[in-house]
Amino acid sequence: MGTLIVLIVFALFLTAILTGGYNKTFLERVKNSKVWDWLTTVDHKKIGILYFLSGFFFFLVGGIEALFMRLQLVVPHNDLFVGDTFNELLTMHGTTMIFMAAMPMIFGLMNAVVPLQIGARDVAFPFVNALGFWLFFAGGLLMNLSWIFGGAPDAGWTSYTSLALNNYSPGPGVDFYVLGLQIAGIGTLIGGLNFMATIINLRAPGMTFLRMPMFTWTSFVTSTIILFAFPPLTVALLLLMFDRLFGSHFFDYTMGGSAVIWEHLFWIFGHPEVYIVILPAFGVMSEVISTFSRKRLFGYTSMVFATVLIAFLSFMVWVHHMFTVGLGPVSNSIFAVATMAIAVPTGIKVFNWLFTMWGGEIRFTTAMLFAIGFIPTFVMGGMTGVMLAAPPADFQYQDSYFVVAHFHYVLVGGTVMGLFAGAYYWWPKMFGKMLNETIGKIHFWTFLIGFHLTFFPQHFLGLFGMPRRVFTYQPGMGLDSLNLISTIGVVGMAIGTIAFLYNIYWSFKKAAPAPADPWDGRTLEWAISSPPPVYNFAQLPLVRGYDAWWMEKQAGNKSLPPAEPLGSIHMPSSSFIPILMALGFFIAGFGFIFRGDFVGAIIGLVLVIVCLFLRSFDRDHGYHIEPDEIEETNKGVQA
């Protein structure tokens, strides 16, 4: 704790020097700076950018951890990263990619796009939206600081308590996992509630539920899953925290507890989590394929109901992660059937994407290439999932590299490729600049080829008997060449990611300003400037059908029909309270991790309570943008 306080004081001292020191104009300089604007923003578009870029940063961190693991496994009997170090890399890679990379990047796209797609000026609760981001960031930062303060978590990303209790992981690593995920999870939960409220209450006039774009639908269903899936994880983490910090015995079987309870609680969350990260990718695919095929999405209504059915079934399949626990043939059979059934609505989506492309005027942009590459890749992951759904087969596949190949085909071949498609598609709307298509196609081909080189051989590694989570293997068992190919594939994925990074640099340095509708889009976000003004729509649009912007263009209209006269627009004010409250949780997390003296934890929680008090008595009700300011903004955009 003393080290943490020294670092905070040093950071404040350095900040004071770099900003010219404290004087009478110090606060004015701070409040007028761009940094302060981004730190205190409640604008959903800026928060979307913060989510996306933070998630991409953690994606790079998780990717480096994966690269280190593959370098260790490139040859037998390697000693580059062994023992506890390998276990820490494995744990942090999985946890970072799921919780700190995929989910925030998804929330980034949701923030940037959903309010625009439904014709809203902001999310329902802008303050809560900002708080959700800063809590995620505080939790992710806390967990990754474990590399510096005492060692990273080493019990696997699922943190089974047979490995995670004090007897087996005595250092602070698992405490960082528990506290970091609790803080980030609070941010995710309130973010999901916010999007549910936004989509239900803030749709533009005429935007009925069956006129909403598919990305908005998948975001809505994802938010509903978050509402029901995260409480079990929160309970599990709280119980593990009490076992580790306060001497309770919820999961210690030697004292009457049960490790299987953790597995149930974790996977009741864990399998819906798969759909939390894949359903928005399905929504991205639907938007991209429809736009670049110049066709209405085939079977829109069936896609909506398939999405809802997937969400319902996602809570009925968690035991397929526990087929070998010994729950009995009846339990295993019921959950096997449910797992196979969930393939049906997923198959509906795949065929609808193919039928949308059939006969369309396909444009092979980078976003469309990622969408096309997504389909066979994700289908392969789905097929191995059905194989794993059969309990007798799962007894052979479980804890082998076959399972590693399966979930990477689903999560990387599905979620990550969906995120890249969404990034190339909505980048001009988020940043007002285009990404380079040539560099983008280099990114696509190197990443796709590298991905299949990495994970396709791992199916055979699993069938040949290579267990998961091992840091070495015996030579001469047929594993050498496949592990070498798998590591070479990671290099291809790394080259693709570097190409994307260079594309971002190119976009900011060399790209011309993007037009409002660079792709000849179909949904409302393409009817306003890129990037949109702070108020999004000068007048709320009147929606007259599905693919509302496309309908208006087909009718010869140059703009959306307004649903209200031009008038004063109310907007929320920025606030420093969300980041201060997240700082309080961050300090409290550190205080609990460094056991024996909970002064830091108490200080952090007091800061959180003070922030709640300040928010409760905050009399700033926002500001108004008047019609003459709106007209001036529109003139500037047109010029």
What is the dihedral sign for C-alpha 199, 203, 209, 210?
negative
Which two three-digit tokens encode residue 614? 């300040």
* In the predicted structure, residue 23 carries a pLDDT above the cut 70: no
- 22 band by pLDDT with thresholds 50, 70 and 90: low
- 193 band by pLDDT with thresholds 50, 70 and 90: very high
Q: What is the mean pLDDT of the chain?
A: 92
Q: Give the distance from CA 305 to its chain's centroid.
A: 23
Domain 33-575+620-633 has CATH 1.20.210.10: yes
pLDDT single digits (tens) 406-440: 999 999 999 999 999 999 999 999 999 999 999 99
Which two three-digit tokens encode residue 616? 């409760």
- 619 band by pLDDT with thresholds 50, 70 and 90: confident
Helix (H) or strand (E) holding 485: helix 480-510
* In the predicted structure, residue 345 carries a pLDDT above the cut 80: yes
Task: Calculate the alpha carbon distances from 283 to 4, 275, 551 in Å.
Answer: 42, 12, 20
pLDDT single digits (tens) 307-332: 999 999 999 999 999 999 999 999 99
Q: Judge whether 583 and 138 are in contact, CB under 8 Å.
A: yes
- Give the C-alpha separation, 113 to 400, whole Å: 39
- 628 band by pLDDT with thresholds 50, 70 and 90: confident
Inter-axis angle of helices 437-463 and 366-388, to 10 degrees?
Answer: 10
Q: What pLDDT is attached to residue 210?
A: 95
Radius of gyration, alpha carbons of the chain: 25
High-pLDDT (> 90) share of the chain, %: 85
Please name which of 593, 607, 590, 582 lies closest in space to residue 136, comparing C-alpha atoms.
Answer: 582
The residue extents of the domains of the chain are 33-575+620-633
Name the pTM for this structure.
0.94
